[in-house]
Amino acid sequence: MNRRTLMATAALGLGLVFGGSANAAGMDKVKACFVYVGPVGDGGWTYQHDQGRLALIEAFGDKVDASTFQENVPEGADAERVLTQMALSGCNIIFTTSFGYMDATNAVAAKFPDVKFEHATGYKRDTDNVSTYGARFYEGRAVIGTIAGRMTKSNKIGYIASFPIPEVIRGINSTFLHAKKVNPDVTISVVWAYTWFDPAKEADAAKALIEQGVDVIVQHTDSTAPLAEAAKTAGVVGFGQASDMAAYKPSPRVSSIIDNWAPYYLKRVGALLDGSYTQVDSWEGISAGEVEIGEITDAVPAEVKAEAEAVRDAIGAGTYHPFTGPINKQDGSAWLADGVTAPDGDLLGMNFYVEGIVGDIPQ
Amino acid sequence: MDFGGINPAVLVASLMVASVPIMLAAIGELVVEKAGVLNLGVEGMMIMGAICGFITAVQTGSPVLGFVGGALGAAALALVFAVLTQVLQANQVATGLALTLFGLGLSSLMGQGYVGIKPPLTGQVPFGPLADIPVLGRIFFSHDPMVYLSIAIIAAVWAVLKFSRMGLILRAVGENHDAAHALGYKVTRIRILAILFGGAMAGLGGAYLSLVRVPQWTDGITAGAGWIALAIVVFASWKPWRVLVGAYLFGGISVLQLNLQAAGARIPVEYLSMSPYLITILVLVIMSSGKGRASMSAPAALGQNFHAAR
């Protein structure tokens, strides 16, 4: 260790000490760092997280240094190395933006009690400097489900699903319930692609669905390939996933679910600056601006657009919950009684289809 | 004409399209391995073909030039492999794996400005009234030119390897490079040319992904297709027409399982997904046991470096 690195380390140590002690009373300057699972240019998941980072720079200016991020960090041992490096380099708050970083985040957080860690879509908070955050995407699915039910002429909706986990099953159920509400004859075909990102396979899945007579495609995979496939057949529409996917406007992309992480990032970094920061388990939706519905294009009739916007606004105002009884499970047994809304625990562990969906969830 | 809710004509037509990338990459690799070189960098060359083809097509507005650009781009990457293994005598397995990693990274870098752009459309071959024949029209006369070109390439490779002097020399180099050298053939030059051909074919396959099948550019677009192509070469026991069968089998089962799901058939997805690999293992076991052994026919000098001084 030469003198320069020694001094840098000492300065860093001091910074950490003061950073920690200044915490309770707020901080003058916060360094926020980000770990991404994909490239910023993926046009979907990671792109949206990076938009949140840019919003921090925009909003706080000199008070926040949000220039540090790392792309394509594999989920696993590498993540731990990257996180340690970031914590050592003076980051005050680190956002880890993929489910697979859960263990690495908690392991590194235990070693750096003065650094705040924020883990997206996870549930483990081993030490009190780890918070978790997610978004209620099923609220957005309710809105596009409404559009899907109205737009389909063949009464067949296709759903390209990734993995059979509660998050995805919740989306399928929410889409189907709301499509059925406006169109009682509607059926949904689910294709499990077993991938978050494989453009060729996603395109094949879309093609298979279209050949089965599906004319509305909803996707829970990250690439724009299903929209590109839908564009080849007249009359087939789809929705943007995670980001707006505006390149496919006005059709086949008729609307989209947009992940907007900016409000959450602003809130958390703001809390760190003014000293009000506490550990949270955040799960916000349309009302907090974390889930947005992308522009509904002119390919959708005006009355359908108005209907979808009414659903969106009712969810946003808190007057309507997408899972409001009576709802039965697929096997006909009762889940929610009339007027009862689903408790978060049921939603977070959802492992069943609602009544009316044909097929089994792979185990 | 429906079978379990699936129209067989539509299924066959879409499996022919789905198989093109792996078929092209596999036939290229077959020629490389017939010349005695094991290039594990197919995945890297495919993705280079995908991005180079995409960039060329977007810049020129011509899908045909796009395919040419894809083939050239991947061949350029293959040239790196050729120089390292044939001239500098590097280990073929390690170099091939490195080529894949390098190709994935480089393509991601080159593709930075090309995310979210739509490439020019590749049209169908106009067969006119032929395309309207029921069933057969849908299967045989409703594709883009690359589907037919890929089958033509298989036929050409088969004919060249079996009937021409050039094919004989290529096989001699792959079976026993010392003997071929003693007969006066330029082993290194022949192998470099084979590697370039393999690269160009992998590039065509990659360009087909980004220009026709998906059509767009995203990082990691090949998603493992190159490895399947490598498996198909072994599955095909180094015979061109079996490459076609293997590609249709692998591509077909992937399409079939998605179609079965879309049609609501109650068959567990997992079994269908693993069946091509099960069949590969089965074929390998049968071929490598007893009487079938001779027909396994892996080139004898496969993976061995050649240096004229030895």
DSSP structure string for B131-159: GGSTTHHHHHSSS-HHHHHHHHHHHHHHH
**Chain A: closest CA distance from residue B145 (Å):** 17
Q: Mean pLDDT throughout A248-270?
A: 91
Cα A222 from Cα A243, distance rounded (Å): 9
- pLDDT of A19: 42
Cα B151 from Cα B155, distance rounded (Å): 6
- pLDDT of A243: 82
CA distances from B279 to A21, A263, B249, B285 (A): 64, 52, 10, 10
Tokens of B133: 């024949």
**Closest CA in chain A for residue B219:** A42
Residues in CB range of B68: below 8 A, 6 or more apart: B56
- pLDDT of B2: 53
- pLDDT of B180: 93
Q: Is any Cβ of chain A less than 8 angstroms from the Cβ of B218? A: yes
Cα A220 from Cα B37, distance rounded (Å): 42
CATH number of A138-258+292-348: 3.40.50.2300
Q: Mean pLDDT throughout A290-310?
A: 93
Cα A326 from Cα A322, distance rounded (Å): 12
Quick: pLDDT tens for B218-264: 878 887 889 889 988 988 889 999 999 999 988 888 888 888 888 77
- pLDDT of A14: 44
Contact A189 B10 (CB under 8 A): no
Contact B266 A42 (CB under 8 A): no
Tokens of B271: 């079994």
| Residue A21: pLDDT band with limits 50, 70, 90 | very low
Q: Is any Cβ of chain B less than 8 angstroms from the Cβ of A236? A: no
3-state secondary structure of B3: strand
Q: Mean pLDDT throughout A215-235?
A: 88
| Residue B295: pLDDT band with limits 50, 70, 90 | low
Contact A200 B223 (CB under 8 A): yes
Most confident by average pLDDT, A9-23, A236-250, B79-93: B79-93
- pLDDT of B1: 41
Rounded to 5°, the CA angle A363-A133-A309 comes to 85
- pLDDT of B118: 79
Using CB atoms, pick whichever of A204, A214, A224 lies closest to residue B258: A204
DSSP letter (8 states) at residue B164: S
Domain boundaries of chain A, sorted by first residue? 3-135, 138-258+292-348
Is it the case that residue A8 has pLDDT exceeding 90? no
Strand partners, B58: none
Q: Which of A197, A198, A217, A248 best probes binding to B when mutated, by most B CB atoms within 10 angstroms?
A: A198
DSSP letters spanning B214-281: S-S--TTTTTTHHHHHHHHHHHTTT-HHHHHHHHHHHHHHHHHHHHHHHHT----HHHHHHHHHHHHH
Contact A201 B266 (CB under 8 A): no
- pLDDT of B296: 61
Is it the case that residue A10 has pLDDT exceeding 90? no
For A205, phi then psi, to 5°, come to: -65, -45
Q: Is any Cβ of chain B less than 8 angstroms from the Cβ of A42? A: yes
Quick: pLDDT tens for B225-236: 898 899 889 888
- pLDDT of B14: 85
Quick: pLDDT tens for B97-109: 999 999 999 998 9
CATH number of A3-135: 3.40.50.2300
Least confident span in A118-132, A172-186, B122-136: B122-136
- pLDDT of A206: 93
Contact B219 A38 (CB under 8 A): yes
CA distances from A137 to A315, A346, B148 (A): 12, 15, 44
Contact A204 B261 (CB under 8 A): no
Q: Mean pLDDT throughout A213-236?
A: 89
Alpha-carbon dihedral angle through residues A148, B210, A163, A45, given to the nearest 10 degrees: -80
Tokens of B95: 């170099």
Residue with the bigger pLDDT between B123 and B290: it is B123
- pLDDT of A249: 83
| Residue A166: pLDDT band with limits 50, 70, 90 | confident
Is it the case that residue B121 has pLDDT exceeding 50? yes
| Residue B290: pLDDT band with limits 50, 70, 90 | low
- pLDDT of A201: 86
CB within 8 Å of chain A, chain B residues 238-257: 254-255
Using CB atoms within 10 Å of the CB of residue B297, give its burial: 0 to 12 exposed, 13 to 18 middle, 19+ buried.
Answer: middle
- pLDDT of A18: 43
- pLDDT of B35: 95
Using CB atoms, pick whichever of A191, A201, A228 lies closest to residue B262: A191
| Residue B292: pLDDT band with limits 50, 70, 90 | low
Quick: pLDDT tens for A75-113: 878 899 999 999 999 999 999 998 889 999 999 999 999
Q: Mean pLDDT throughout A141-168?
A: 92
- pLDDT of A173: 95
Contact A208 B14 (CB under 8 A): yes
**Chain A: closest CA distance from residue B257 (Å):** 9
- pLDDT of A7: 47
Domain boundaries of chain B, sorted by first residue? 8-296
Using CB atoms, pick whichever of A194, A211, A225 lies closest to residue B10: A211
Q: Which CATH architecture has domain B8-296?
A: Orthogonal Bundle (1.10)
Residues in CB range of B290: below 8 A, 6 or more apart: none
Q: Which of B217, B261, B271, B274 best probes binding to A when mutated, by most A CB atoms within 10 angstroms?
A: B261
Alpha-carbon dihedral angle through residues B87, B88, B91, B97, given to the nearest 10 degrees: -80
Percent of chain A with pLDDT over 70: 92
- pLDDT of B175: 92
- pLDDT of B75: 96
CA distances from A11 to A113, A165, B33 (A): 18, 45, 58
Is it the case that residue A9 has pLDDT exceeding 60? no
Is it the case that residue A190 has pLDDT exceeding 50? yes
Tokens of A144: 């596009």
Contact A204 B218 (CB under 8 A): no
- pLDDT of B142: 80
Contact A212 B218 (CB under 8 A): no
Cβ contact A327:A287 at 8 Å: no
Contact B118 A247 (CB under 8 A): yes
A to B CB pairs, distance under 8 Å? 102
Cβ contact A154:A214 at 8 Å: yes
| Residue B86: pLDDT band with limits 50, 70, 90 | very high
Cβ contact A290:A135 at 8 Å: yes
Cβ contact A202:A225 at 8 Å: yes
Is it the case that residue A23 has pLDDT exceeding 60? no
Contact B218 A224 (CB under 8 A): yes
3-state secondary structure of B27: helix
Cα A241 from Cα A243, distance rounded (Å): 6
Cβ contact A315:A287 at 8 Å: yes
Cβ contact B199:B35 at 8 Å: no
The pTM of the full predicted model, rounded to 2 decimals, is: 0.79
Q: Is any Cβ of chain B less than 8 angstroms from the Cβ of A242? A: no
Residue with the bigger pLDDT between A42 and B141: it is B141
Average pLDDT score over chain A? 87
Q: Mean pLDDT throughout A195-221?
A: 88
Using CB atoms, pick whichever of B14, B21, B269 lies closest to residue A207: B14
For A329, phi then psi, to 5°, come to: -75, 170
Q: Which of A72, A202, A210, A212 best probes binding to B when mutated, by most B CB atoms within 10 angstroms?
A: A212
DSSP letter (8 states) at residue B176: -
Cα A178 from Cα A331, distance rounded (Å): 19
| Residue A133: pLDDT band with limits 50, 70, 90 | very high
Least confident span in A41-45, A274-278, A341-345, B72-76: A41-45
| Residue A15: pLDDT band with limits 50, 70, 90 | very low
